[in-house]
Structure 1
Amino acid sequence: MRPLNHPIASWAGRRVWLVGASSGIGAALAQELLRAGATVALSARRPAQLRQVAAGHAQAIVAPFDILDQAAWGGRYRDICAQAGGVDLVIFCAASYRPERSWDVSAEGAAHTLAVNLGSVYTGLATVLPDMLARGSGGVAIVASVAGYMGLPNASVYGPTKAALINLAELLYTDLHPRGLDVYLVNPGFVQTALTDQNAFAMPALQTPQAAALAIRGGLASGKFEIHFPKRFTIWVKLLGALPYRLRFALISHFLVPK
C-alpha cells in the first residue's frame, strides 16, 4: 500500500520550523534533523536553551518567541523565511502538562494548557498554511500523545487537548492532502522529559527523548500519517480504547486510578 504522505528520505536542503525546540522531544528531534542535514528554525520562549540545541550546527536558526503571543507568529515566520528561503515542514511540539485529577483543575491552569497545547497550533496553522497552499507543497506535523486516545486519570486537561490535536490532524489530512500538503500525527507514549518527571506513578515503556526523535524521523521517512511509539506500549493502549466502555472503565479503574 502506498504511504499516506510523501516519504522524507533525505533531509539535505529540507527547511523545518520546529516549535517547542528548547527541551525534551523537540530539542532531541531538532538535533536529529540538524545532524541529518536539514535547516531547522528553533522556536520556544527560552533563547539560551535554543542556542544550546543549535550549538555546532551552522544550519540552525535560533528564532525565539512566545507562542501565546498571536501577533508574534507572523513576524517570526517572515524572519525564518528570509533566512531559510521558506519553510517546507512545520512541527508543532510545544506542550504544557500538569498531572491532576478533575477536582484539582483550576480555570486559570486549564486556560493556559489549552492555549499552549491547542490554541497555539491554530495560530501557527493560520500563519503557515496560506503560503503552503499557494505553492501546493509542504507539510505539518502535530505532536499529540497516546493520552489523547481516551480519557485517562491524571490528564484532566492535557488529555483532552491531545485528543483535540488527534482530531485536528485527521481533518487537516482530509482537507490538505488533496491540495498537495502532507500531514503527520505523532503520538508518543511516555518519554522522559521535564513534563513526565512530574508523574508520581510508574510509566511503562519509558523512552528517552533521543529514542523518540529517532522514531519520529523513521515515521517521517516512511510517509506515515500516524507515528506512534513505542509499539509495545501504544498497541496495548489502542486495544484498550477499542473495548466497550463498561470493560474499559473497569480496567482503567482497577489498574490506573490511584488507590
Structure 2
Amino acid sequence: MNLKPVKPEDGFAWITGAGKGLGRALTVRLVEAGWTVLASARTVSDLEALADDTRTFAGKLVPLPLDITNAAAIQVALDEALRDQPLALAVLNAGTHVATDLSNFKPETVKMLVDTNLLGTLNCLYAVLPRMRSQRRGQIAVVGSMAGFLGLPSASVYGMTKAGLINLCEALQPELAVEGVHLQAVNPGFVRTPLTDKNTFPMPFLMELDAAARAFERGLASRRFEIVFPMRLAVIMKLLRCLPYALSLRVTAQFLPGGTRDNG
C-alpha cells in the first residue's frame, strides 16, 4: 500500500516524552507547523512551560500528563482527549536510560528500564492501534536508538530495550501497511541535551537539538520506514553490525562506561 504521511488537517498528534529534550523540540516544531498536539510527560510543570512557549503558534498544544507505565491511565486520557477528533499521528518517544555497566547491572535497574522503554511504549501502542486500524489511516513513530543496532558498553539494558522496539516495528510494519497505518522506527544517534552533557564516553557526530528536531520532522513527512540521524553515524553503526565480532567488539570497547541519557 502506498502510505502517505499525515497532515495537521487529518487529526491530532500525540507525543510522549514531550517535556524535555528531543520530544520537546519536536513538539514545538509541530505546533508551529499548525498541529494540535497532545503533549505527554510525567512532569506537569514541564508541560505548562511548553504550553506557554507555544501559545502564539499556528497550532495548539494540549497538555496531557501521563506516566506511560500506567496502561489504564493512558486509555482514559486518550479517550477523553480524542472524543471529537481522530488521532492522526502518534510519536512514542518517552523513555529513559541509566548507565548499566557491571557495577549497576541490578534487577531493579533492569526492571525500571524495561518497564519504561519497552513495556511503556507497548502500553501506548495498545491505546493507539485500535483507533488507527478502525480509521484505516494514521501514522505511528516509535523512537528507538542507534544503541539498538549493536551492544555498547554501559548501555546493555537500554540497548536491549531499543533493539526490542526496532524488532517490534519491523515485525508490525507489513501488517499495519495493509491496514493503511504508516509505522516508522526512529533511531537517533547522540543529541546534545543537558543529560548527554553528563556523558563521559565519546559521542561521535553529536547533533545539536534543533538540528535533530528538524531531521525528525523531515522524517515524519517522508514515506520511509526508518528515520535515522545523523546519517553518517547510522552508516558506521550498521557497518559495524556486519563485521566479525573480533573487529566490532574492538571498536565498541572504545565507548567507556558512564553518563545518563533521558528522552522522556
TM-score over 0.5 (shorter chain): yes
Pick one of 26, 30, 34 that aligns with 1:33: 30
Q: Unaligned 5+ residue runs, structure 2? A: 258-264
Deviations 1:222-243 (A, max 9, x none): 2111010111222111111111
Structure 1 CA distance for aligned equivalents of residues 148 and 195 of structure 2:
16
Query: Would the aligned equivalents of 2:228 and 2:234 in 1 still touch at CA under 8 Å?
Result: yes
Kindly tell me: are residues 115 and 135 of structure 1, through their superposed partners in 2, closer, same or farther at Cα, counting changes over 3 Å?
Answer: same
Deviations 1:110-162 (A, max 9, x none): 11111110101111111111121112111211010000000111102111001
- Aligned partner of 1:36: which letter? A
- Aligned partner of 1:219: which letter? G
1:98-109 correspondence runs (5 A): 98-109=98-109
Structure 2 CA distance for aligned equivalents of residues 28 and 180 of structure 1:
28
Structure 1 CA distance for aligned equivalents of residues 8 and 215 of structure 2:
15
Equivalent position of 1:176 in the other structure: 176
- Aligned partner of 2:212: which letter? A
RMSD: 1.8
1:95-134 correspondence runs (5 A): 95-134=95-134
Equivalent position of 1:248 in the other structure: 248
Kindly state the Cα deviation for residue 102 of structure 1 after the two structures are TM-superposed. 3.4
Kindly state the Cα deviation for residue 96 of structure 1 after the two structures are TM-superposed. 1.0
Query: Would the aligned equivalents of 2:110 and 2:157 in 1 still touch at CA under 8 Å?
Result: yes
Query: Would the aligned equivalents of 1:99 and 1:198 in 2 still touch at CA under 8 Å?
Result: no
Percent sequence identity over matched residues?
38
- Aligned partner of 1:52: which letter? A
Check if 1:67 corresponds to 2:64: no
Kindly state the Cα deviation for residue 198 of structure 1 after the two structures are TM-superposed. 3.3
TM-score (norm 1): 0.91
TM-score (norm 2): 0.90
Equivalent position of 2:262 in the other structure: none
Equivalent position of 2:260 in the other structure: none
- Aligned partner of 1:70: which letter? A
- Aligned partner of 2:46: which letter? Q
Query: Would the aligned equivalents of 1:21 and 1:50 in 2 still touch at CA under 8 Å?
Result: yes
Kindly state the Cα deviation for residue 195 of structure 1 after the two structures are TM-superposed. 3.7
